[in-house]
Amino acid sequence: MALNPQQKLAVSHVEGPMLVIAGAGSGKTKVVTSRICNLLNIGVPSSEIIALTFTNKAANEMRLRVQNQTNLQVWTSTFHALGVLILRESISHLGYDNSFTIYDAQDSLSLIQNCLVLLGQKKDRAIAKKCKMAISRSKNNLISAENFTPSSFEETEITGQVYSLYQKKLKEYGALDFDDLLYLPIALFKKEPEILASYQRRWRFLLIDEYQDTNKAQYQLIKCLAQTHQNIFTVGDPDQSIYSWRGADINNILSFEKDFPGAHVITLEENYRSTCHILNAAGGLITNNAQRYEKKLWSKQTGGEKVTIYYAQDERDEMRFIINTVMRCKENENLSFADMAIFYRTNAQSRLLEDAFLSQGIPYQIIGGVSFYERKEIKDLLAYVKVACFPSDAISFARVINLPKRGLGPSTCDKLYHAAAQSQMPILDFCIDLIHGNNSSVSLSKKQSAGVTEFVRILCLLQEKMKQNVAISDILKLAFDESGLTLSIKEDPETAQDRFANIDELLNKAISWEEERDETHSIYTFLEELSLNAQVKKEQQQALSMLTLHNSKGLEFPLCFVVGLEEDTLPHINCKDSVEGIEEERRLCYVGMTRAKRHLYLTSTSYKRIFGQSKFMTPSRFLSEIPEQYVQSNQSDFNDIEEDNEDAAIGKQVFHRDFGPGIIQRAYNTSLGLTYDIYFEDLQTTRSLVARYAKLQHGY
DNA sequence: GAGGACCGGTTTTTT
DNA sequence: ACCGGTCCTC
Ligand SMILES: Nc1ncnc2c1ncn2[C@@H]1O[C@H](COP(=O)(O)OP(=O)(O)OP(=O)(O)O)[C@@H](O)[C@H]1O
């Protein structure tokens, strides 16, 4: 595939700052990959190049492409994984131990909840979540706990206190949260210029994909690293900025030219991905954003089908349309399931799709979503291993000390935590001392003492095996067998089988993980990769993909659906109170649409079940913002009223705008004309409606 | 300390 | 409809 002149210009650029600003499908990622190959070809050592992508999946793909083309390995990762690399090497300069564990969102939330309770607040998950958001936002904006100021009426001084206490506890537990992985390297570089200088010498070329979604911390990190040599190459599309809620700031694009004076700016205008219909439809939508860089984007691919909008009556109808379309395209368009993807706004929307595909035997895979490693039984088992690896990790400790039940309830555990904190000991080591009688600061009943002894026995056993370099899978198996987690899984017979299967899967993953790497297989590395979500998920070859719009970034498929285009879903209800919010939702829709190569289907439903309640929806404003000439829809026959004759109508399914789906039970004439008695499922009542006025939709 | 009944908020998006 | 939190009883 030949690069166009603009792409060539970017790919052959060697030294100095460069910014590539270009629309969807114009080959930005392609340019990054090609430029890495070019640098390698002219002799730059692979160890001097760092490429940063938005997801681990994208990083793996890019690394593999480069490897295939040059046979060389280049460090390609997310910002967070780069943060871990830096911190593992140098965090001791900040007074942390370099054998830190990494807390996922659940762990951080538990810790924040604990901090709230310690500060005399009542236990409340919703408040803890808000706190977590505020702390996370602060870290991503490089605001320390000392400098924290409440930024909304919901946040109080308490949030600042929680932030301080939370950081203190993290340090005490030898743990970092996700945001620390960006925040601490910058703190380190500020504190120790010599360390920074060593990284500047080591990494001479930086490349950043999806630049429009970098936040302040990420920008600061690369700014530090590129300060001396200025060899920084960024590519992005302001119209695809969809992470402002995580602190992403398009102004980083403006800052780039300011912070790196003399930066070359290149634009790419040809889209190689989509047909004109799709590109123009998406382009028409995005022009509705007022705050915007105008960009040219065109495609040579004329013809093809228009974008299809399907207005469904209810969710069942929407699912039926999707299934029919999928099967039709598989038969007639020579597409495989792997060529198809469905995007939605929220993860919850995948449920109905899953049910539908399961019932039809259509193979599917969910990309992203609730991770395997977030499942309770997996987290429980891993918590045992983590406590053995990180004896200070009180969050993992608390997760499993009484799982299965060992007669150690909240108050006993609290005593242990307090006493351990008092004596400044790792919680596990404290318990070891306690049962050996080396410490008498906590008195336990016989039963409780037996419980602690049993727990400690398991962990010491695990630690011993780890010292002997026993295989990771064997450690996990041992942890599972010794801990008695079987008992707690069996407590819920409904789900037990699935959960045992998940445990099995984890063991198998560990086995193949170890087989893949020969020497460097420490259990610590294994746990770290799991925390970063960096495991390469094996893609199913013949499956249709289902993912959130956010996860669709950077991908492409011949056929795409964007589903649930209703007001309050997309745009989402929580984003509607500001123009910026709406504009970001519009960009989200734009990103989804521009993933499609040849076929694009947008669906909207007028009747939905939400929180167990029925709700009427109005079509998303975005649908009406797409220029009509690129669209075909079923809108025209949507309002058709079929004039039925009396008896033929009985038993038919109909749909009423207000009452939802129903079945005609009786048909007769009144002075107003043809009238039906209709039983409405959702209301569980029968109503008599005049056909002429009821505007029923038939035959669905 | 464990287990059950009851209440209320909940779903935005991810590394 | 579901999960997490609280309150109550044993
Ligand atoms: N010069 C070219 N000739 C042919 N195909 C190309 C060329 N450049 C890129 N492509 C193809 O166009 C598609 C889109 O490229 P790429 O994913 O790099 O775009 P992008 O700008 O990163 O897209 P987005 O920002 O929407 O994720 C890919 O399939 C790529 O192989």
CA angle A34, A39, A43 (to 5 degrees): 140
CB atoms within 10 A of CB A651: 9
Residue type at A575 in one-letter notation: C
Residue A346, phi then psi, degrees to nearest 5:
-125, 150
A15-24, A518-527, A672-681: range with highest mean pLDDT = A15-24
Does residue A187 contact residue A94 with C-beta atoms inside 8 Å?
yes
Each as own residue / partner, the long-range contacts of residues A465-474 (CB below 8 Å, 24 or more positions apart, any chain) are A466/A388, A466/A389, A466/A523, A471/A510, A471/A511, A471/A514, A472/A510, A472/A513, A472/A514, A472/A521, A472/A523, A472/A526, A473/A507, A473/A508, A473/A510, A473/A511, A473/A514
Q: Is the dihedral of CA A37, A259, A191, A135 positive or negative?
A: negative
For ligand 1, atom 8, name the residue with the nearest CA: A27
pLDDT tens figures, A110-130: 999 999 998 888 888 888 998
Which has more pLDDT, A370 or A106? A106
Interface predicted TM-score (ipTM): 0.92
Task: Pick the closest to residue A185 from A159, A219, A210 (CA basis).
Answer: A219
Q: pLDDT band at A646, cuts 50/70/90?
A: low
Q: Identify any residues that bridge with A268 across adjacent strands, giving them in sequence order.
A: A22
pLDDT at A644 over 50: no
Q: Which residues lie closer than 8 Å to A438 by C-beta, 6 or more apart? A: none
What pLDDT score was predicted for residue A642? Answer: 45
What whole-number percentage of chain A has pLDDT above 70?
A: 96
Q: Which residues lie closer than 8 Å to A642 by C-beta, 6 or more apart? A: A696, A698, A699
Spatial separation of the C-alpha atoms in residues A257 and A264, rounded to whole Å: 8
Which has more pLDDT, A316 or A81? A81
Token pair for A609: 């079940």
Q: Name residues contacting ligand 1 (CB within 6 A).
A: A 1-4, 7, 22, 24-30, 237, 240, 272-273, 554, 556, 594
CB atoms within 10 A of CB A294: 5
Spatial separation of the C-alpha atoms in residues A30 and A699, rounded to whole Å: 48
pLDDT at A692 over 80: no
Spatial separation of the C-alpha atoms in residues A164 and A114, rounded to whole Å: 13
Token pair for A663: 């079945």
What pLDDT score was predicted for residue A553? Answer: 94
Q: pLDDT band at A636, cuts 50/70/90?
A: low
Which residues of A sit in the known binding site? 22-29
pLDDT tens figures, A342-395: 999 999 999 999 999 999 999 999 988 777 888 889 999 999 999 999 999 999
Spatial separation of the C-alpha atoms in residues A218 and A223, rounded to whole Å: 8
pLDDT tens figures, A273-304: 999 999 999 999 999 999 888 888 999 999 88
| Average pLDDT of span A320-337 | 93
> What is the value of pTM for the model shown?
0.88
Report CA(A11)–ligand 1 centroid distance (Å): 13
Does residue A13 contact residue A264 with C-beta atoms inside 8 Å?
yes
pLDDT at A263 over 90: yes
Q: pLDDT band at A595, cuts 50/70/90?
A: very high
Task: Pick the closest to residue A381 from A509, A466, A481, A498 (CA basis).
Answer: A481
Lowest-confidence region among A42-46, A55-59, A618-622, A660-664: A660-664
A574 CA, B9 C1': separation in Å?
A: 15
pLDDT at A153 over 60: no
Among the atoms of ligand 1, which is closest to the Cα of residue A554? 27
Does the C-beta of A351 come within 7 A of strand C? no
Spatial separation of the C-alpha atoms in residues A186 and A216, rounded to whole Å: 11
How would DSSP label each residue in A436-480? TTS--SS---HHHHHHHHHHHHHHHHHHHHHHTT--HHHHHHHHH
pLDDT at A566 over 90: yes
- Nucleotide with smallest C1' distance to residue A80 CA: B15
What pLDDT score was predicted for residue A340? Answer: 96
What pLDDT score was predicted for residue A637? Answer: 45
What pLDDT score was predicted for residue A623? Answer: 95
Place of tokens 């001084």: A157
Report CA(A661)–ligand 1 centroid distance (Å): 45
Report CA(A591)–ligand 1 centroid distance (Å): 14
Nucleotides of C under 7 A from a protein CB: 1, 4-6
Spatial separation of the C-alpha atoms in residues A244 and A240, rounded to whole Å: 11
A576 CA, C3 C1': separation in Å?
A: 27
For ligand 1, atom 6, name the residue with the nearest CA: A272
Does residue A363 contact residue A617 with C-beta atoms inside 8 Å?
no
Strand, coil or helix: what is A352? helix
Q: What is the CA radius of gyration of chain A?
A: 29
Running DSSP on this structure, what letter comes out for residue A290?
Answer: S
For ligand 1, atom 11, name the residue with the nearest CA: A272
pLDDT at A638 over 80: no
pLDDT at A145 over 80: yes
What pLDDT score was predicted for residue A696? Answer: 77
Q: Cα dist. A58→A120, A248, A466 in Å?
A: 44, 18, 33
Closest amino acid to nucleotide C4 (CA–C1'): A125
pLDDT tens figures, A439-460: 888 888 888 889 999 999 999 9
Spatial separation of the C-alpha atoms in residues A342 and A601, rounded to whole Å: 9
pLDDT tens figures, A504-554: 999 998 998 888 877 767 899 999 988 887 666 677 789 999 999 999 999
CA angle A364, A77, A529 (to 5 degrees): 70
What pLDDT score was predicted for residue A59? Answer: 94
For ligand 1, atom 23, name the residue with the nearest CA: A25
Q: Which DSSP helix (H) or strand (E) runs through A383? A: helix A376-389
Spatial separation of the C-alpha atoms in residues A91 and A397, rounded to whole Å: 24
Mean pLDDT of chain A: 90
- Nucleotide with smallest C1' distance to residue A610 CA: C1
What whole-number percentage of chain A has pLDDT above 90?
A: 62
pLDDT tens figures, A210-246: 999 999 999 999 999 999 999 999 999 999 999 998 8
Please report the beta strands in A584-684, taking only residues with DSSP state E, as ranges in sequence order: 596-605, 607-610, 613-616, 631-633, 653-656, 660-670, 673-680
Q: Which DSSP helix (H) or strand (E) runs through A311? A: strand A307-312
Token pair for A473: 């899978």
A122 CA, B5 C1': separation in Å?
A: 21
Token pair for A644: 């039925």
- Nucleotide with smallest C1' distance to residue A110 CA: C4
Does residue A51 contact residue A62 with C-beta atoms inside 8 Å?
yes
Lowest-confidence region among A183-197, A304-318, A550-564: A304-318
A351 CA, B2 C1': separation in Å?
A: 34
Spatial separation of the C-alpha atoms in residues A678 and A658, rounded to whole Å: 13
Spatial separation of the C-alpha atoms in residues A320 and A76, rounded to whole Å: 41
Residue A480, phi then psi, degrees to nearest 5:
-65, -50
Please give the positions of A annotated as active site.
28-29, 209-210, 240, 595
Which residues of A sit in the known binding site for ATP? 22-29
Using CB atoms within 10 Å of the CB of residue A323, give its burial: 0 to 12 exposed, 13 to 18 middle, 19+ buried. Answer: middle
- Nucleotide with smallest C1' distance to residue A126 CA: B9
Spatial separation of the C-alpha atoms in residues A247 and A249, rounded to whole Å: 6
